[in-house]
Structure 1
Amino acid sequence: MDSALTLLRRGGRTVLSMAIAFVVAFLAMAFTKNPNATPMGYVPRSFVSTYPEPRFAAQAEPLFSQFTEWTVRVLTLDLGSIRTNEGVVPVTSLLVDSIVVTLIYLLPAAIIAVVAGTVVQLLAVAVERRDLTKKTTLLGAAAVATPVFLFAYLVHIYLPVFVFRLAGRIVDLGYNTRETPFSTRNLRAALWPFLTMTFYLFAIQLRAAGTDLEQYAGEPFVKTARAKGVGLLGICRHVFPHSAARLLTVLSSEMLGIVLVGLYAVEWVTRTPGFGTLTIDAVGSRIPGLIFGVVLLPVALVVAVNFLQDAYYELFDPRVDRAE
């Protein structure tokens, strides 16, 4: 019963977080200057239209009426339409298409980075050198501190050379919006953001996993395993269950904000028409439905992941203190 009440309260906080994000986005559009009201407005990459009105809410209509209307529209996913080079398309379709483009490279990059970063730090704990975990953690922290667009720049320089040597000919790595995201050309174009995000997420996981696993390097059960001649992989199997939940959720909770910022920078630099590029275009074009979409989707992802993580700890992890 206590667990159910706790989860109910946290669910209420989740809904409140979404409501606050919606209100903040609405007020920002209603009261900030729109640069597209002048002839020299923003030129988006993902579509060809902008919102040129000087105010989000029309002067002749009460602000509260606009707020009520958009509340209903957001709840019903009626976010309007946008004019693109292919014609007028719903905002929801544009959002889905951009998310697909992002997930094509981001999911494998995240899986590889999380697994590789965790394995490296587990091996650092298993090795009989207590300072090795600290060194790998510092290495990860230094890599995270490096601007992600520098990773993208380095990949941009060396990836075409690598592909040329591999294929024996010049290969166009540019993204073609007229083809599907799964076409051969666009999958090749996804290599650039994929490699950049893999390096970046690996650095994040290396730092986070090192911080979490460092405490086990000198634990008695690890020393005992070493004394008994247990190999490195055996020690890793002993250590991993103690922090598995934390390691598997680190990128989806505490580090998600850093990942999103990296995503925006990488997609803009690599000219990938994914969710990051669409977010920047939404801010510049000031189209209301698109603004709500790109703002509320990440917020929904963050609060949903945090709620699921809290639910896991509350229901299944006996080490969590349920007192509030």
Structure 2
Amino acid sequence: MSTGALLTRAGRAAISLAVAYTISFLAMAFAPNPNAGPLGYVPRSFATTYQQPRFAKQAASLLEQFLAWAVRLLTLDLGSIETYTGVMSITSMLVDSLLVTLIYLIPAAFIAIVAGTVVQLLAVAVERGDLTKKATVLGAAAVATPVFLFAYLIHIYLPVFVFRLTNSIVELGYDSQAGPLRPRNLRAMLWPFFTMTAYLFAIQLRAAGADLSQYAGEPFVKTARAKGVGVWGICRHVFPHSAARLLTVLSSEMLGIVLVGLYVVEWVTRTPGFGTLTIDAVGSRHPGLIFGVVLLPVLVVVTVNFLQDAYYELIDPRVDPVS
């Protein structure tokens, strides 16, 4: 892939963001606002909803509003919103909610990715041809299980585990008045942490199994076994062949599934992270908030895909990603 191809993909990324913004704007322009009536949505993350008429019913033309919001997005001027502790800028709220999510999601993702990959590597290294298939089927079944069931089971057993560990009743609810790094809030994040760890482990078990299973019967694996190479030695031989593909699957193909799971988990566990804020944004109809929660995941996806293409071009040019 040439530098020109990378520039082309960067242009596609910009177009993707523009399309996502346009679709969001048109939805705000023509969809009726349920909060304009006496019965509206009650958000968890803040105190008020957007009660103005849709863009198509406002005094300024749609083109003027479209361009004005485009400039505001580029300058991160998304407006402000009234919370239970005072008025707060929407940009700051997005940053704070994203911080809450990342505090538990990053370690959950790391543990799940490492554990899922290691399990599938061991399934390949062990001389049992059906083991990789069984592990892959197990991962597929776990992915098919609704993520809120993981959250429900952890909600039942986590307080019991904490009680037995500490021999006392510990408050596990999130305190929105305190910072995310306070001990109580870190304890509260155990619920979404364990839920997302189990969910992401299932995703990785399925993704790694689908890719690594092809190496179970490869000649170099059989030769390594015949020479008496240990299980971990075979794992070290197999992993480099699949590392780039696993990176592709994790960074792009599975990202949408992870985001959907994130929204469900945070809403069920009452965690004031990015997933909860996204649901509140849709229900409250605040334009700046909606544009922020829609465009930020799109920005992450297109950035990750662009970095993936750059990796193939600059570091591993043997692999040519599908255009």
Class of the TM-score when normalised by the shorter of the 2 chains: over 0.9
| Alignment gaps of 5+ in structure 2 | none
| Alignment gaps of 5+ in structure 1 | none
The superposition leaves residues 189-221 of structure 1 with CA deviations (integer Å, 9 ceiling, x where unpaired) of 000000000000000000000001011101110
Identity %: 76
**Higher mean C-alpha deviation, range 239-248 or range 211-220:** 239-248
Q: CA contact under 8 A between 1:314 and 1:322: conserved in structure 2?
A: no
Separation of aligned partners in 2, 1:57 and 1:312? 44
The superposition leaves residues 231-281 of structure 1 with CA deviations (integer Å, 9 ceiling, x where unpaired) of 000000000011112223432211000000000000000000000000000
Residue type of the alignment partner of 1:236: C
SS in 1 for 2:266: helix
Separation of aligned partners in 1, 2:272 and 2:140? 29
Mapping 1:273-292, distance limit 5 Å: 273-292=272-291
The superposition leaves residues 20-65 of structure 1 with CA deviations (integer Å, 9 ceiling, x where unpaired) of 0000000001010111011100000000011112313543211100
SS in 2 for 1:78: coil
Q: CA contact under 8 A between 1:80 and 1:90: conserved in structure 2?
A: yes
SS in 2 for 1:173: coil
Separation of aligned partners in 2, 1:60 and 1:312? 48
Mapping 1:151-166, distance limit 5 Å: 151-166=150-165
Residue type of the alignment partner of 1:317: D
TM-score, length-normalised on structure 2?
0.98
Partner of 2:37: 38
Mapping 1:303-314, distance limit 5 Å: 303-314=302-313
Partner of 1:316: 315
Q: CA contact under 8 A between 1:175 and 1:186: conserved in structure 2?
A: yes
Q: CA contact under 8 A between 1:197 and 1:263: conserved in structure 2?
A: yes
Partner of 2:143: 144
TM-score, length-normalised on structure 1?
0.98
SS in 2 for 1:27: helix
Q: Go from structure 1 to structure 2 and tell me whether the alpha carbon gap of 1:210 and 1:35 turns closer, same or farther (over 3 Å shift).
A: same
- How many residues are aligned here? 323
SS in 2 for 1:175: coil
Separation of aligned partners in 2, 1:203 and 1:223? 28
Q: CA RMSD in A?
A: 1.2
Q: Go from structure 1 to structure 2 and tell me whether the alpha carbon gap of 1:323 and 1:94 turns closer, same or farther (over 3 Å shift).
A: closer
Q: CA contact under 8 A between 2:312 and 2:320: conserved in structure 1?
A: no
Q: CA contact under 8 A between 2:125 and 2:235: conserved in structure 1?
A: yes
**Higher mean C-alpha deviation, range 49-58 or range 293-302:** 49-58
Mapping 1:1-324, distance limit 5 Å: 3-321=2-320
Residue type of the alignment partner of 2:149: L
SS in 2 for 1:250: helix
SS in 2 for 1:21: helix
Separation of aligned partners in 2, 1:323 and 1:286? 37
SS in 1 for 2:194: helix
SS in 2 for 1:88: strand
Residue type of the alignment partner of 1:256: L
SS in 2 for 1:13: helix
Separation of aligned partners in 1, 2:113 and 2:174? 27
Deviation at 1:322, TM superposition (A): 7.6
Q: CA contact under 8 A between 1:264 and 1:277: conserved in structure 2?
A: yes
**Higher mean C-alpha deviation, range 81-90 or range 243-252:** 243-252
Q: CA contact under 8 A between 1:57 and 1:66: conserved in structure 2?
A: no
The superposition leaves residues 102-130 of structure 1 with CA deviations (integer Å, 9 ceiling, x where unpaired) of 00100000000000000000000001111
**Higher mean C-alpha deviation, range 242-251 or range 302-311:** 242-251
Separation of aligned partners in 2, 1:21 and 1:257? 15
The superposition leaves residues 120-155 of structure 1 with CA deviations (integer Å, 9 ceiling, x where unpaired) of 000000011111111100100000000000000000
Residue type of the alignment partner of 1:73: R
SS in 1 for 2:88: strand
Separation of aligned partners in 2, 1:117 and 1:322? 24
The superposition leaves residues 57-84 of structure 1 with CA deviations (integer Å, 9 ceiling, x where unpaired) of 5432111000010000001000000000
SS in 2 for 1:113: helix
List, as ranges, runs of 4+ consecutive aligned residues in structure 1 with deviation greater than 6 Å: none
